[in-house]
Copies of this chain bind each other. A is one copy, B any other.
Amino acid sequence: MALIVQKYGGTSVGTPERIKAVADRVKRFVDRGDQVVVVVSAMSGETNRLVALSQAVSSNPHPREMDVLLSTGEQVTIALLALALQEQSLDARSYLGSQVKILTDDAHAKARIKAIDGESILSDLNAGKVAVVAGFQGVDVNGNITTLGRGGSDTTAVAVAAALNADECQIYTDVDGVYTTDPRVVDCARRLEQITFEEMLEMASLGSKVLQIRAVEFAGKYQVPLRVLSSFEEGPGTLISIDDNKDMEAPLVSGIAFNRDEARVVVRGVPDTPGVAYKILGPVSDANVEVDVIVQNVAADGTTDLTFTVHRNELDKAQVITEDIAKQLNAREVAVDGSICKVSLVGVGMRSHAGIASQMFKTLADVGINIELITTSEIKISVVIEEKYMELAVRALHTAFGLDDTGVVESSDNG
């Protein structure tokens, strides 16, 4: 018997039939003796429908009223799921964010959770009930409805799990786990049985969009074991947990992430004076252009080169700003490239193993790929290369680091 928090996203509750299927699954857990809290999103399509309504009456919707509007999406789902559970003869009760209550700050549309009162839910669980909680929403200290931002239901689930000291937080989605890389790019990508919070953060932020980054951070901070599973088929999914198994056999690399939509800006021949990186990147950031990789080489001849990458959609904006500053700084030139990509190895094993970087560079060289930029952190190595080589790079690295699915089932992942 365990206390389990399950989260189902919009697709998993997108129709009455799917809601009934969720109720079936919850019943199986209850029947084997588990206590279950279910966190749900709005039915798929509902949030877009509500946003369209708001746009039909307002050119600049006020965030407080948008939160009142959008929070109805999850409210509909909790009522329907509670009804479907009751139809299964389970004792179920729905909870709005304000009823739990999930106290947040007052930053409408992007509120942060400050505290969760789990008492009422725990007393329901102990009375044999299933608690159904609206994801994505909370309430501020003045009783205003707030939302955690799109995708925030994952965060709700993890936060509720932490508050209840749950044994596991299960995130049901449309994939059956976290893979060594995107199976659409590498046929023999393998589902990971286990991965650490840190690895998951690097995988997620680099483009493997299975879980919201914030939810993973939250789970790591409160050490809530997190499991990603499919809501459409049975299977163990991938467990995301702390790195408590210092197994020497842990693989060096857990997965390969990549990001296709990058663009590169190089400012060449900038006089190498203190604060030059800030002088260039400050205005870019002020214009709300998000900068990803930043590389500055050591100066030669009193000048240096600064390179950074941005999302491809924002390249034009970044270029205009950068050329303006480059002129002021007497830089030699600004060069841009809108057809690059980033490929990263991720693995906690890298912490204690040398030689991974050079093995990565050799693998790419062997297939004739030129590396344009390199950045490293404790548990990842990223390279920027020409976009056309992306699939080739990912596949070569996947094989070189032993990630290919060999058909042999083994628990070979970290943790």
* A interface, CB within 8 angstroms of B: 16-17, 19-20, 23, 50, 53-54, 56-62, 64-66, 68-69, 71-72, 75-76, 78-84, 86-87, 92-94, 96, 98-99, 143-145
Contacts and interface: CB of A to CB of B under 8 A. Distances in A.
B75 A62 contact: no
Nearest to A86: B62
Contacts of A17: 56
Contact of A72 (B57, B59, B65, B72): B72
Contact of A54 (B23, B58, B83, B98): B83
A102 to B, nearest CB: 14
Q: How many copies does the complex hold?
A: 2
A16 B75 contact: no
Nearest to A73: B72
A76 B53 contact: yes
A62 to B, nearest CB: 5
Contacts of A16: 53, 56-57
A370 to B, nearest CB: 52
Nearest to A49: B76
Contacts of A65: 79, 82-83, 86, 92, 94
What 3 A-B pairs have minimum CB-CB distances, sorted nearest first?
Answer: A16-B56, A69-B79, A72-B72
B62 A72 contact: no
Main secondary structure of the interface of A (DSSP, over half): helix
15 contacts: A16-B57, A50-B76, A54-B79, A62-B86, A65-B82, A65-B83, A65-B86, A66-B79, A68-B75, A68-B78, A68-B96, A69-B80, A96-B145, A98-B143, A99-B143
B94 A80 contact: no
Contacts of A68: 75, 78-79, 82, 94, 96
Given A17-B56, A58-B86, 15 more contacts: A19-B57, A53-B80, A58-B87, A62-B83, A62-B86, A64-B94, A65-B82, A68-B75, A68-B79, A68-B94, A68-B96, A69-B75, A72-B75, A98-B98, A99-B144
Contacts of A98: 98, 143
B69 A57 contact: no
A355 to B, nearest CB: 57
A64, A78, A82: most-surrounded residue (chain B CB, <10 A): A82
A57 to B, nearest CB: 4
Given A53-B16, A94-B68, A98-B98, A61 B75 contact: no
Contacts of A66: 79, 83
Contacts of A80: 53-54, 57, 69
B69 A76 contact: yes
B83 A57 contact: yes
Nearest to A79: B69
Contact of A83 (B58, B72, B87): B58
A136 to B, nearest CB: 14
Contacts of A87: 57-60
Residue among A57, A61, A72, A75 facing the most chain B CB atoms (10 A cut-off): A57
A57 B99 contact: no
Contacts of A61: 83
A358 to B, nearest CB: 57
Contacts of A86: 58, 62, 65
A23 B80 CA distance: 32
A80 B66 CA distance: 8
A68 B99 CA distance: 11
Contact of A84 (B58, B83, B96): B58
